[in-house]
Amino acid sequence: MSTETQSFKGVGTPTTRMYGLLAVIALGWVFLGGLFFTPEDAVQGDAVRIMYVHVPTAWVAYLAFIVTGVASACWLIGKKHSMGFDRVAGASAEVGVLFMAMTLLSGSLWGRITWGTFWVWDPRLTTTAFLFVTYLGYLAVRGLGGTAQQRARRSSVIALLAVLEIPLVHFSVVLWRSLHQRATVLSPDGDIKMDGLMLFTLLFGVFGFTVLFAWLVSHRQRILAMQDAQQTSALDAAVTERLKEVQA
């Protein structure tokens, strides 16, 4: 085992363990507060409790894809083309796809209760689904093979194009007639019409899922680093073996 591979042994760092602890505490409150302590909505009743998962997961998916775009830009413009940026981009995209899937699932359940159907070709739903498929394609491109540098180059370009879809998704409820409600907490007029405990639980959920995102990305990028190290070691061994054959 190479020295680089050995340096990745262990289950985490003090920082990642702190992320994990904060995530457990925050999401524990979201579970209890969202199910038992927060009041029902005057119109939607108990269905509003899906909000405590749907909104934070959507936020984290946006955040994850933005991090992927920023990390990809850093790899492209950096003189040394640090592979750490590429691994963060890949790890963030993987986590973002997971959270976007949770967003679509929770939104479908919420839609079934409030609209009477799991899916409609609404602008917000359609653009969100398209964003989800785009990043599935991004992950597929990352897995096409080649060297780590080739992977980083092609995926970075796609990430910078894909991130441009996020404003379209966010403002789709404004640009087109949509069944999906507009922003409540981030309302342009600043008028937040929400019970105080509901707002606190929702914001705590955003915090908890964000910390969970940081924890997942931290661990996933370490795994990707180990995979890159193993690939490099295998390539070096293959080259050495080939040189021995030539010299024999």
Tell me what pLDDT residue 236 has: 53
Tokens at residue 67, please? 């991090």
| Residue written as token pair 């363990």 | 17
Angular region, 229: left φ>0, alpha ψ -120 to 50, beta rest: alpha
Tell me what pLDDT residue 3 has: 42
Tell me what pLDDT residue 2 has: 42
Tell me what pLDDT residue 6 has: 42
CB contact at 8 A, 54 and 34: no
With a cut of 70, which residues of the chain have pLDDT below it? 1-12, 179, 181-193, 232-248
Q: What gap in Å lies between CA 124 and CA 89, rounded to an integer?
A: 25
Around Cβ 165, how many Cβ atoms within 10 Å?
Answer: 16
Tell me what pLDDT residue 1 has: 41
Q: What's domain 15-247's architecture?
A: Up-down Bundle (1.20)
Q: Note the pTM of the prediction, 2 decimals.
A: 0.83
DSSP alpha helix (H) spans, the chain = 3-6, 14-32, 51-77, 83-114, 123-142, 148-162, 165-170, 172-175, 196-247
DSSP string covering 105-124, please?
A: HHHHHHHHHHTSSS----HH
